[in-house]
Amino acid sequence: MHKKRIADTIADKLQTLIVEGSLKPGDRLPAERTLAESFGVSRPSLREAIQKLQSRGLLKTRPGGGTTVESSLNPEFVDPLISFFQEHPESRFDVLEVRHSLEGNAAWHAAIRATDEDKENIKACYEKMILLHNGDDPLAEAQSDAEFHLSIVEASHNLVLLHMMRGLFTLLQNSISHNLDKLYTLPRVFEPLSNQHKALMEAVIAGDPEKARQAAQDHLAFVEDSLQEIDKEEVRKTRSLRRLTTLNALQTEPNKNKAQKFSQDQT
């Protein structure tokens, strides 16, 4: 029987950490010496394992930047979709429809499967999200919102669902057209969002799957309605500005004609 090489064993262990979510997209690996010591292997064997995961598209190394976990979706797949979202902002509602189904199921499973560590992580993500609302960076708050929802998906302990949801959030967070920044600048929206997030968190922690699923779906329905209202307000503002610009132009034109006629009369 062929004995498995040390580098292959290390690569498998690192890959498991990535797939199960212990190492998240963007996470930086510990220093080479520290990582080699934790695995009890030589640094050359560790380097070979890292190279294997780089070739699989799971890790990336930059000079002076260390080694980090790649995005959950291949860039060749993500980049065209980001461009599509920018050109067709209404497509974000397609993502919300998918989230509506997936996150409802994730919340249901999380309420059943969440460990004590999962529950502490969900609480920490919720508290961070609330804290950031007092700041002046709505995009950072939107990012913390994504982290909160992903903490619940992680608690579902469904690896396929976790990577699918990470991919969806990657698309939303990288699209300049998704309007999440606007969503967090509306005072009338914060309190309902906060209450919905709290209800979702409490249902998962209490182990109530049906209540957790309903809370997730109610929240996403509210987000969709709010974003649609933002879009309508933007259309109204654009229309009003266009009318004002046209009116000013019409008022300016007669005055211009009078000035020209006066100048001609004087000559």
Nearest to 213 by CA among 105, 117, 124, 131: 105
Tens of pLDDT, residue by residue, the chain (267 residues): 445 788 888 988 888 887 767 787 778 888 888 998 998 999 899 999 998 888 877 888 887 778 888 765 455 445 555 555 555 666 677 777 888 889 999 999 999 999 999 999 999 999 998 888 766 777 777 788 888 999 999 999 998 888 888 877 776 665 434 556 667 666 677 788 889 999 999 999 999 999 999 999 999 899 888 878 877 776 677 777 767 777 666 666 555 555 555 555 555
Q: What is the pLDDT of residue 207?
A: 97
Q: Which domains does the chain have, with CATH numbers?
A: 6-69 (1.10.10.10), 75-236 (1.20.120.530)
Determine contact, residues 168/98, Cβ cutoff 8 Å. yes
State whether residue 40 is helix, strand or coil: coil
Extended beta strands in the chain, E state: 59-62, 66-69
The C-alpha atoms of residue 171 and residue 216 are separated, in whole angstroms, by 20
Q: What is the pLDDT of residue 265?
A: 58
- Other C-beta atoms within 10 Å of 210: how many? 11
Q: What is the pLDDT of residue 58?
A: 81
Structure-derived torsion over alpha carbons of residues 43, 48, 54, 59, reported in degrees to the nearest 10? -20
Residues 6+ apart with CB under 8 A from 33: 43
Query: What is the number of residues in the chain?
Result: 267
Place of tokens 């059943």: 112
The C-alpha atoms of residue 167 and residue 75 are separated, in whole angstroms, by 11
DSSP 8-state class, residue 71: P
**Residue 224 Cα to chain centre, angstroms:** 15
Amino acid present at 75: P
Q: What is the pLDDT of residue 177?
A: 40
The predicted model scores a pTM of 0.64
- Other C-beta atoms within 10 Å of 1: how many? 3
Give buried/exposed letters for 11-25 (b at 16+ CB in 10 A, else e).
Answer: beebbeebeebebeb
Alpha-carbon Rg for the chain, nearest whole angstrom, is: 26
Q: What is the pLDDT of residue 89?
A: 63
Exposed, middle or buried by CB within 10 Å (0-12, 13-18, 19+), for 151? buried
Q: What is the pLDDT of residue 116?
A: 96
Nearest to 164 by CA among 209, 226, 102: 102
Q: What is the pLDDT of residue 90?
A: 67
The C-alpha atoms of residue 65 and residue 84 are separated, in whole angstroms, by 30
